[in-house]
Structures are given as C-alpha cells and as structure tokens.
Amino acid sequence: MSTNPRDRRIADDVAIDRALLCCANDCPNRWSVDAGAGRCCSAHAWADHHLWPQITAEQQDAETDRALANTVGPAPSAPRVPLTLADKREILGRLAALFRKPRDHRAWQRALEEKVRRGEQLSAMQRHCLAEARRSMPATIEDAA
C-alpha cells in the first residue's frame, strides 16, 4: 500500500465510486434500489438473475450511446451573411450615439426617490444607498444650490 497521501486519496475516491455502482458485474449504472439482492440499478433490481448479463450489456450500450451523444457538437449554424456597408454604418452610428448621449449618474437615486414619494417600501440596501447618496450628493443640481 502506498504511503503517498495523494495516491491514497485517489484510491479512496475509486473505492467510493465503486460503492456507488450497481452490484451487477460491470454494470455502468449507480445503484438506486436496495431490495434484498444487493444495491442495484433499477434495471437489474427487478429482473431475474439469469437475465443480468443481457441487462448489463444493454446498460453498457446505453452508456456508450449517451457518451457518443454528448460528444457530438452543436448543430451547424446557418452560414453568416456578410454585413453590407449600410449595415455597418448603421451599427456604428448607434454605437457612437451611445457615447454621445449624456450619462445620468443619478438616475438610480431619482428612481429610488420616486419610489419613496409613491410610498413604496425600499429594501435595506436601497435605504442604505439612498441615505449615503443624500449625504454625499444632492439629488439634483437645484438641491445643491
């Protein structure tokens, strides 16, 4: 037996994994039924013992099919249509407009103030942020004057 802690940890993981598997030889499923014949998967638990090799083969085939299905990549997407010059200009124009638009750094504070005016309840964090904002910066320029 190895004294290397890493090797022992890996061996323990393998032993734990095996303990989770169906008691039928080479069955790839985890056990889910403990009905007196050992801890078996549902496929083996309710079948006669003479059918177990056939069931195991079916379960292994199903496991292989699932693994193959998981390795198949996503369906091919539609071929990309290149953007026209007009499309590119329109997209860049919208992007530029975003940067030209003046940003309202106090919109969230005004939204919270409006909620307070309407009598809506604020969360503890909203109340805290609003109190901090009122202390450090007035809601509007007119308030500052």
Angle at 74 between CA 87 and CA 30, to 5 degrees: 150
Q: For Zn ion, which is the closer residue by CB, 47 or 139?
A: 47
Q: For Zn ion, which is the closer residue by CB, 52 or 109?
A: 52
Cβ-based neighbours of 5, under 8 Å, separated by 6 or more? none
Token readout for 126 is 């909203």
Token readout for 52 is 């177990």
Q: How far is the CB of 12 from Zn ion (least distance, A)?
A: 23
Q: How far is the CB of 71 from Zn ion (least distance, A)?
A: 23
Q: For Zn ion, which is the closer residue by CB, 31 or 109?
A: 31
Q: For Zn ion, which is the closer residue by CB, 22 or 112?
A: 22
Q: How far is the CB of 43 from Zn ion (least distance, A)?
A: 5
Q: How far is the CB of 45 from Zn ion (least distance, A)?
A: 8
Owner of token pair 């198949």: 72
User: For binding to Zn ion (CB under 5 A), which residues are involved?
Assistant: 22, 24, 27, 29, 41, 44
Burial 101-122 (b: 16+ CB within 10 A, else e): eeeeeeeebeebbeeeeeeeee
Owner of token pair 């734990």: 16
